């Protein structure tokens, strides 16, 4: 694996923002499945602190953050949607 390929699959920052409700947990599960399918070794931080969530400018949860960028908010993404977002933001 080249260094560029390694950079794409390691050291990434994935965050799920939300209160810990069922929808937030569903988004986290779908994101985990997507990362597994893409063979990305990335931990997911689940942020429940509303002051931290607001710092991202997110007012509607759940939200998905990839490498510091808000890529989705206000809906539960399916695994395939998360895969598409990850590929677009990591491509």
Catalytic residue among 14, 16, 17, 24: 24
Is 38 buried (19+), middle (13-18) or exposed (0-12) by CB count in 10 A?
middle
62 in active site: no
C-alpha 68/C-alpha 64 separation (Å) is 10
Region at 18 (left for phi over 0; alpha for psi -120 to 50; beta for the rest): left
Catalytic residue among 6, 7, 21, 59: 21
24 in active site: yes
Helical (H) or strand (E) element with 69: strand 69-73
Task: List active site positions.
Answer: 21, 24
């Amino acid at each position: 694996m080249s260094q560029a390929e390694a950079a794409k699959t390691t050291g990434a920052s994935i965050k799920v923002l939300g209160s810990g409700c069922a929808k937030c947990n569903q988004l986290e599960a779908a994101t985990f499945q997507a990362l597994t399918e893409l063979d990305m070794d990335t931990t997911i931080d689940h942020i429940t602190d509303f002051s931290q969530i607001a710092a991202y400018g997110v007012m509607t949860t759940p939200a998905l953050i990839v490498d510091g960028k808000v890529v989705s908010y206000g809906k539960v993404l399916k695994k395939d949607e998360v895969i598409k977002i990850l590929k677009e933001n990591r491509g």
